[in-house]
Amino acid sequence: MDPLKAAWKGEDTNTKSTADIKKMLKENKHPVLKKIRTQMIIEILAFSVIGVVYYDFFDGHQKPLYANIILVVSLLLVIVHNVIGYLSARNPVKGSNMRASLEKYLSDLKIFARLSILSRILYAAGLLTFFISVITITATKQWIIAGVIIVFLIQIGILVKLWQNRIRGISITVGNLKMGE
> How remote is the C-alpha of 50 from its chain's centroid?
19
Q: Which residue has the higher pLDDT, 100 or 17?
A: 100
Question: What is the pLDDT at residue 181?
Answer: 62
C-alpha Rg value of the chain to the nearest Å: 22
The per-residue b/e assignment along 42-67, b for 16 or more CB within 10 angstroms, e otherwise, is eebeebeebeeebeeebebeebeeeb
> Which range in 38-52, 57-71, 146-160 is most confidently predicted, on average pLDDT?
146-160
The answer to whether residues 156 and 124 touch, using CB atoms and an 8 Å cutoff, is yes
Instruction: Encode pLDDT of 81-113 as tens digits.
Output: 888 888 877 776 666 777 788 888 888 889 989
Kindly report the pTM of this predicted structure: 0.73
The answer to whether residues 46 and 11 touch, using CB atoms and an 8 Å cutoff, is no
